[in-house]
Amino acid sequence: MEMKDIFKDAEERMEKTINVLKSDYKTIRAGRANAAVLDKIMVDYYGVPTPIKQMAAISVPEPTVLTIQPWDATSLKAIEKAISSSDLGINPQNDGKIIRLNFPTLTEDRRKELCKDIRKMAEDSKVAVRSIRRDAIEKLKALKKDSVITEDDLKDGEKKTQDITDKFVKRIDEESAVKEKEIMEI
């Protein structure tokens, strides 16, 4: 393994960490209807856990309303049950053809609580990025030990690894700030 491979691997893994953070942020309810909040909810459809978006048309007719229209009308009750038992915190309204989810506006306390969750997710992502940095530096030290690279190469490699880490930590902070701003908007 060469130094450039170590850097490339570290960057790819850090990029995945950012992507996971972004998808986690999409599931946080911001007082606006957003189909992404349903992504993690699985419906027991003929004994198979199935994502709602594979079973129904999801639309946002109003900023605070989400409608779910199943392609198979018999799955309506199963979808309703899955949403009710999820941690979404919204009661679905079933009119026999479609399910409506009304997103209430968030209280100040709930907004602050969500911001804490956002910061925690960001911190967890930073820990993951730092762990990737540590792995990369260990690989560089192994190359030095095997006399593949020199002491100077090791120092340069550690600096480059730290620069990559700093870049991703900054991106995590930016993602977090954007999500917090979205949550705090009324």
**Looking at residue 122, which CATH number applies to its domain?**
1.10.132.20
At residue 158, does pLDDT exceed 90? yes
Q: Is the pLDDT of residue 13 over 90?
A: yes
Q: Which 8-state DSSP code applies to residue 97?
A: S
Q: Are residues 115 and 172 in the same domain?
A: yes
Residues 41 and 20 in one domain: no
Same domain? For 142 and 53 the reply is no
Confidence category of residue 105, pLDDT binned at 50, 70, 90 = confident
158 with 178, same domain: the answer is yes
Q: Are 49 and 43 in contact (CB under 8 A)?
A: yes
Angle, vertex CA 126, rays to CA 124 and CA 131, nearest 5: 95
**pTM score, two decimals?**
0.72
pLDDT of 151 higher than 80: yes
Provide the domain count of the chain.
2
H runs (alpha helix) in the chain: 3-26, 76-85, 108-145, 151-184
Pair 67, 112 in one domain: no
Q: Provide the pLDDT confidence category of residue 29 given band limits of 50, 70 and 90.
A: low
Q: Rounded to whole angstroms, how far apart are CA atoms 2 and 184?
A: 46
| Residue 30 or residue 71, greater confidence | 71
> Residues 88-98: what's their mean pLDDT?
84
CATH number for 79: 3.30.1360.40
Domain range for residue 117? Answer: 3-26+107-184
Question: Mean per-residue pLDDT for 67-88?
Answer: 86
Of residues 109 and 120, more confidence is placed in 120
pLDDT band at residue 31 under the 50/70/90 scheme: low
Contact 161, 7 (CB under 8 A): yes
| 134 and 156 share one domain | yes
How far apart (Å, rounded) are the C-alpha atoms in residues 53 and 38? 8
| Structure tokens that stand for 126 in this block | 């930073």
Both 118 and 144 in a single domain? yes
Query: End of a domain among 102, 129, 157?
Result: 102
| Cross-strand partners of 57 | 69
Q: Residues 183, 106: contact at Cβ < 8 Å? A: yes
Check if the beta carbon of residue 106 is closer than 8 Å to that of residue 114.
yes
Q: What is the pLDDT of residue 173?
A: 95
| 21, 48, 120, 144, 180 from 25: Cα distances, Å | 6, 27, 11, 40, 10
The tokens of 13 are what? 């893994």
